[in-house]
Structure 1
């Protein structure tokens, strides 16, 4: 699990980003002040930092420079400013990328993944391809017809479990234990997740190509 640190004093932005990144399978830390960020960096191994340019107690540029001096952690800088000078300065101080507010969360997540890939934090291994569907474990991403599918963490885990065992039928209880790491207490949630997965992955959810049902038993991934 990748550790991502968000450094921003706008709590609503932090809350929204934290939720979206956790849905992608990341462990997210939050800091609202510069000194909080440094404490978290020193106490935890961070894989990525999303850093706001303007903080109440610190200049984001200088904080970026300070982090870069001691740590090789990819940094995406956020700012309300939209000027070439600030972008150039941010890159000079060690930022890997730059986004202005307001921003599209899906685009930000895509940039995080791209930067991590370039930095060698995630690779191209553990990729499952079937038809037009591609599932990448390291990136925790899935694509259909070349377009990324917006999956929750549990939906991705369930899809990868089935796809990495093509043809094997999993009971609802088995899927629950594998994904939730505990004994099943309500297997109906599996049916809900499967239905949501089909809506996102299949071209025609009523006539699925990938996620199949074994009536009276459970679900499996079509290996054909």
Structure 2
């Protein structure tokens, strides 16, 4: 089963949360961004099936984000806007939006437009590659690279990790994980716990205190992209520090010995 991933880019926190709640209730995987910059960083790692973008973001023009995302040619785009003139609608559609919804709007109309857009997907395949810096998942080859090394996973572990990572931080119930990871199998959702435990032993620094695959009480599990971002940032900082150290050492080696001693 192909998961439909929706990204909401909306500066109004109340509206953003309301849209996310309705979409999650309808079974979509949802992540949220409040600014143009944070959305763009997210899209650089993985582009959503459908991007819902407010035209007026706190740090920039949502239409420009729409234009940039359209050039990547992977996502459907729905613009939300208080700019209600005909020229505004035309500009949004020309920027690459598949639909343009004027504010204010009702939830029934919003959900109907989302449903119509997602119907266009047909049998669109799931992404063959997920790249989160230090974690790379190759669906075609069924290989996982973590911190520069390939790790050996069972078929069940691979499918479970792929579904968790694809959800990008959205908590998934055990039943959801079972349905998305192994749709052909009928099993007890509690068997997910066994596979999660095994997976944690292979990717967590301390499986007893997991940071990447988190337990969400009374829900299930989520993949912690925030922790993965910290790992990426720490590695980049180490590389920069190492480069500076090598550069300084190289420079010192060229200084005559009597100058160094002073």
Shorter-chain TM range is: 0.5 to 0.7
Q: In the alignment, is residue 114 of structure 1 matched against residue 116 of structure 2? A: yes
Shift of 1:4: 0.4
Shift of 1:21: 0.4
SS of match in other structure, 1:110: helix
Under a length normalisation based on structure 1, what TM-score does the superposition of the two structures give? 0.54
Larger Rg: 2
Q: In the alignment, is residue 67 of structure 1 matched against residue 69 of structure 2? A: yes
After superposition, what is the alpha-carbon deviation per residue over 1:77-102, rounded to whole angstroms, capped at 9, x for unaligned? 00112111000000100000011111
Aligned residue in 2 for 1:23: 25
* Matched-pair contact (CA < 8 Å) for 1:47–1:121: no
Q: In the alignment, is residue 104 of structure 1 matched against residue 106 of structure 2? A: yes
Paired residues in the alignment total 133
Give the alignment partner of residue 84 of structure 1, picking from 83, 86, 106: 86
2:35, 2:19 → 1: CA distance? 17
Shift of 1:17: 0.6
Can you give the 5+ residue segments of structure 1 that lack an aligned partner in the other structure?
123-153, 158-176, 184-224
Aligned residue in 2 for 1:33: 35
Aligned residue in 1 for 2:8: 6
Shift of 1:39: 1.2
Under a length normalisation based on structure 2, what TM-score does the superposition of the two structures give? 0.46
Shift of 1:45: 4.0
SS of match in other structure, 1:77: strand
Can you give the 5+ residue segments of structure 2 that lack an aligned partner in the other structure?
125-172, 177-186, 192-262
Moved over 4 A (4+): none
SS of match in other structure, 1:25: coil
